[in-house]
A = this chain, B = another copy of it.
Amino acid sequence: TEKLVFEELKLRVRELENELIKCKQKIDKMSAEVVDSNPYSRLMALKRMGIVEDYEKIRTFTVAVVGVGGVGSVTAEMLTRCGIGKLILFDYDKVELANMNRLFFQPHQAGLSKVEAAEHTLRTINPDVQFETHNYNITTMDNFAHFMDRISHGALQDGKAVDLVLSCVDNFEARMAINTACNELSQIWMESGVSENAVSGHIQLIIPGETACFACAPPLVVAANIDEKTLKREGVCAASLPTTMGVVAGILVQNVLKYLLKFGTVSHYLGYNAMQDFFPTMAMKANPTCDDRHCRKQQDVYKKKEAERPKKVVEQAVEEEVVHEENDWGIELVSEQTDQELQAASGPVPDLPEGITVAYTIPDKTGTSEGETVEETEQSLEELMAQMRTM
């Protein structure tokens, strides 16, 4: 009976909390006043410190977070605490006790949908943020159309596209769906990922037509230096750690803040190898022979735009040295590491900075077994796809 009373009370408190949130006055203007009761004082201090020129601008931005798991939930919490204007959350999963080894969700939320549980917690944390949640799988036909519609029309300013899409999903199909949508809509997005063995991760900025999209090149991952054979066995669940996921969410949202609020250097690719505390960076241009026709179309648009820019500016833009004009995938790498560091790089894949490797191989379009595979592999495309499904 105690348990029953508890459940009833929990429900009533939840109702009252929701009512309270509704009647709570949203603040009109972020204050920089240094008082204990001001939730924005430490953020507005970024202006006084000379880091951010216009912090209040954060309230005008809308960010879509796809996947509200170990990385996505912490990503949403960080953005909420930073006072983002609006968050649109997508996930079709339920909270389970098996998720308790990562930050954010609590045992009493087990059974709730992740978006519902997340929205409740986030509203309690910051009632100034607007939320929109979608409890569905974006990869099915109908949902994908709806997803496209929401990212192109879901911004605070009615009818506009969101400012950024963040991929915090854990599988290949969902990443490809986001990639397809963003290429078609010319929507800038950031991708994130954590390896199955829980000790490496990465973030990547994708500007359609300009930087490599998810279909331009095999997705890059940080090598974990462990025996691949111990990974990806049938029926084996992936490992995860709150530390690795917290770091990946942290570097992801930091990149979001730098991009939206225009400070520091926005990273194109930042990897995290927890075993060695190694954080490789790099940049990768779009692949002219990319399979995604919308990517190729965006590349044409980008080239035209670049050609139309005043000559002097173009000259500055091409100053970055393209280290490898041509390779097996038609990818151009603009390395942020020195030539010496690149020469010292080892591993099965040439032309990638040390410590970075590919998560899977691009299937050979000609039908022969030679050509574009990255590592010697006897696995079929189906097997590789099955592997990616668990990523």
Contacts and interface: CB of A to CB of B under 8 A. Distances in A.
Interface of A: 2-3, 5-6, 9-10, 12-13, 16-17, 19-20, 34-43, 45-46, 48-51, 74, 77-78, 81-83, 96-98, 100-103, 106-108, 124-126, 196-199, 226-227, 230-231, 235-244, 246-247, 249-251, 253-255, 257-258, 263-265, 267, 270, 274-277, 279, 281, 340
A45 B101 CA distance: 12
Contacts of A251: 243, 247, 277
20 contacts: A3-B20, A5-B16, A13-B13, A36-B96, A36-B97, A39-B97, A39-B101, A42-B238, A45-B240, A48-B239, A78-B246, A100-B126, A241-B254, A242-B253, A244-B250, A255-B277, A258-B274, A265-B277, A270-B277, A340-B340
A59 to B, nearest CB: 14
A103 B78 contact: yes
B265 A241 contact: no
Contacts of A40: 101
Contact of A9 (B16, B19, B34, B98): B16
A198 B240 contact: no
- Copies per assembly: 2
A49 B231 contact: yes
Contact of A237 (B2, B34, B98, B243): B34
B241 A264 contact: no
A19 B41 CA distance: 37
Contact of A45 (B97, B103, B238): B238
Contacts of A265: 275-277
Contacts of A196: 49
Contact of A254 (B77, B124, B197, B243): B243
Contact of A242 (B81, B107, B281): B81
Contacts of A263: 275
A121 B237 CA distance: 28
A349 B344 CA distance: 28
Given A239-B42, A264-B199, A13 B16 contact: no
Contacts of A243: 78, 82, 250-251, 253-254, 257
Contacts of A108: 124
A101 B125 CA distance: 9
A41 B240 CA distance: 9
A275 B279 contact: no
B227 A50 contact: yes
Contacts of A270: 277
Given A41-B98, A244-B254, A49 B81 contact: no
